[in-house]
Chains A and B, each alone.
Chain A
Amino acid sequence: MNAAQLTAPAPDPLLYLDGVSVVFDGFKALNALSLIIDPGELRAIIGPNGAGKTTMMDVITGKTRPTEGVVRFRDHDLTKLDEASIANLGIGRKFQKPTMFDKLTVFENLELALKAPRGPLACLRWVLGGGDRARIEQTLEEVGLASRAHDLAGVLSHGQRQWLEIGMLLMQDPELLLVDEPVAGMTDQETEHTAALLVRIAGRRSVVVVEHDLEFVRALGSKVTVLCEGSMLSEGSIDHVQNDPRVIEVYLGR
């Protein structure tokens, strides 16, 4: 629309990490890590155990404070915000171990995640509107749990719990989804379903997936970042990183 757009500059990154280090008792969990995620991008992050994948997620979501470095989400400095504020900025996180509210139904889990005023009085007065109900039902369809809406979350199978958690992320209407090991312990069919789901979600939102399963990462068809010992080792397509000798040495070759 304007002149700047005609010269087609790279879009402003949604998430920007630069020189981020986290030191736990002298152990460098992250070592000058830099990472840029663009709006709408789907990114897979792989790396051996202890490479710093989960620590990176912790830093982005405010659970861990970096010892040094820049962590920015749009114009916000994430190192100065707490978990709830970061979540409300539009960063949703799915944990490695699915965590939801087992004593609430699938529907109620999504209802709690639904973007709405979060204060105690607002929650006390809150009434589920037709639009909200439609959004919840749409998400139930999207993650394939429509038939389980009124079951307690505690009785879902492992795969269904992962999808419910992705559904809860969607209800928060985040710009960035951080998804930690979504297919661990899933059957092949569930894995395929999950890959397709994440590819559908990306585009409208940015999705960062941390995963060990290389077949799954291939199915995502996205840019891959390889972490090792707290910093970035290699970045590119899945074929590129699989053929990178450094990656083979530390990770794939074993």
Chain B
Amino acid sequence: MSATLASPAPSGFGRMTLRLVLIGAVLILALLPVLNQMPTDSALHVSDFVVTVCGKWITYAVLALAIDLAWGYAGILSLGHGAFFALGGYAMGMHLMRLIGPRGVYGHPVLPDFMVFLGYQELPWYWLGFDHFPFAILMAMAVPGLLALVVGYLAFRSRITGVYLSIITQAMTYALMLAFFRNDMGFGGNNGFTDFKELLGMPLNTPNARSVLFYASLALLLGALWLCSAVTRSKLGRVLVAIRDAESRVRFLGYDVTQHKLFVFVLSAVLAGLAGALYVPQVGIINPGEFSPANSIEAVIWVAVGGRGTLLGALLGAFSVNALKTWLTTVAPDLWLFALGGLFVAVTLFLPRGLIGLFTKAPK
């Protein structure tokens, strides 16, 4: 492609090696559900726990890619991306709740348990349509996308950047968390949704459902990687880097910066929403805690640790920090938050380009 000819040759060896490592990692990941089916006494057997945890990390990696696209490339440091992830998760959660049908504790044919408990007579209008899977997926993209469009439009049009934008996005996710905690919102209050039974006709918590969800997540990750890569390699990607580094100069070149930022912010929110939609059936629960500002900040730390401004860095960060978290919260749960904070400080001080900076030359 001519655009790549115009770029300086990236450091060949490091990048090539990284690509091979990535392909290897994807292949190993793809094997996990197969190894899960091996007899339990086999040396190659992988436990259900590992498959579920890796599936969850894959959805986190998609969230990290989404954050990196907005932050690493366009300089939009959103501290509210967890909200887009959670909204996608709620859309999927609503679908899963509808699929429970009469199997709930109260046995109501239509209403989920929490609605019966709270005295609802009929399904609120905004629950209509969620019994259809395609509609739920559409909403998992459309709701985060629209929220990003409105918040982004108001912020970018007023030229709110930097820390002020971060505060606004943080406030956005906090406000949503408070709203979703309320019982009269019709989203299950602080208990959220759980006790899911099936998805697409597959009973959940079976090896089959685990594999399907795992591969769906992996497909989403590869799709997101392809999409982000297409964006960052195009001229749009260079415009975004230019906006990140000298926004007003881009304006004087005749670019409508608001449009470009909105485009990438909405795309990023949609990806986060899809990631959330695949996260929920794998962990089996969604509640307002997912909107907690701490979640959004943690996701930003994954990207910072991995290396923002490189797509592989975001993936590396999401997997490595979450692996550390899973291990540490098992062996020494009290240490996790200190470790996370320490990691962030250490990376900022000693590895400004993140873990990926250990392997490659300066990215854009």
- Decide yes or no: A108 and B7 within 8 Å by CB, A87-B252, A99-B246, A113-B253 being known contacts: yes
Chain A contact patch, size range: 35 or more
In the assembled complex, how far is the CB of residue B242 from the closest CB belonging to chain A, in whole angstroms?
4
Q: Which residues of A contact B260 (CB under 8 A)?
A: 120, 123
Within 8 Å of chain A (Cβ to Cβ): is B8? yes
Within 8 Å of chain B (Cβ to Cβ): is A246? no
Q: Which residues of B contact A101 (CB under 8 A)?
A: 238, 241-242, 245-246, 249
Segment 109-156 of A: residues with Cβ below 8 Å from B: 111-113, 118-121, 123-129, 133, 150-152
* Residue in contact with A112 in the complex, picked from B1, B7, B235, B251, CB distance below 8 Å: B235
Within 8 Å of chain B (Cβ to Cβ): is A53? no
- Interface pair B234/A125, CB less than 8 Å apart: yes
Q: Which residues of A contact B163 (CB under 8 A)?
A: none
In the assembled complex, how far is the CB of residue B110 from the closest CB belonging to chain A, in whole angstroms?
42
Q: Which residues of B contact A150 (CB under 8 A)?
A: 6-8
Q: Which residues of B contact A103 (CB under 8 A)?
A: 241, 245, 364
Chain B contact patch, size range: 20 to 34
Q: Secondary structure of the B side of the interface?
A: helix
Within 8 Å of chain B (Cβ to Cβ): is A55? no
In the bound assembly, the distance between CA atoms of A119 and B7 in angstroms comes to 22
- Interface pair A87/B238, CB less than 8 Å apart: no
Q: Which residues of B contact A152 (CB under 8 A)?
A: 8
Within 8 Å of chain A (Cβ to Cβ): is B337? no
* Residue in contact with B256 in the complex, picked from A104, A118, A124, A172, CB distance below 8 Å: A118
In the bound assembly, the distance between CA atoms of A220 and B236 in angstroms comes to 38
- Interface pair A111/B254, CB less than 8 Å apart: no
Q: Mark B137-156, 1 if CB is under 8 A from A, else 0.
A: 00000000000000000000
- Decide yes or no: A119 and B256 within 8 Å by CB, A112-B235, A112-B239 being known contacts: yes
- Interface pair A99/B251, CB less than 8 Å apart: no
Within 8 Å of chain B (Cβ to Cβ): is A30? no
Q: Which residues of A contact B202 (CB under 8 A)?
A: none
In the bound assembly, the distance between CA atoms of A93 and B3 in angstroms comes to 26
- Interface pair A108/B245, CB less than 8 Å apart: no
In the bound assembly, the distance between CA atoms of A124 and B73 in angstroms comes to 14
Q: Which residues of B contact A164 (CB under 8 A)?
A: none
Q: Which residues of B contact A121 (CB under 8 A)?
A: 263
Within 8 Å of chain B (Cβ to Cβ): is A84? yes
Q: Which 8 A-B pairs have the closest CB atoms?
A: A87-B254, A120-B263, A123-B236, A128-B2, A88-B254, A101-B242, A124-B236, A126-B235
Q: A125-B234, A168-B253 are in contact. List 18 more A-B contacts (CB 8 A).
A: A61-B252, A83-B248, A84-B252, A84-B257, A95-B249, A99-B248, A101-B241, A105-B8, A108-B6, A108-B238, A111-B238, A112-B235, A112-B239, A123-B239, A127-B3, A150-B6, A151-B8, A152-B8
A-side interface residues toward B, CB under 8 Å? 61, 83-84, 87-88, 92-93, 95, 99-105, 107-108, 111-113, 118-121, 123-129, 133, 150-152, 168, 172
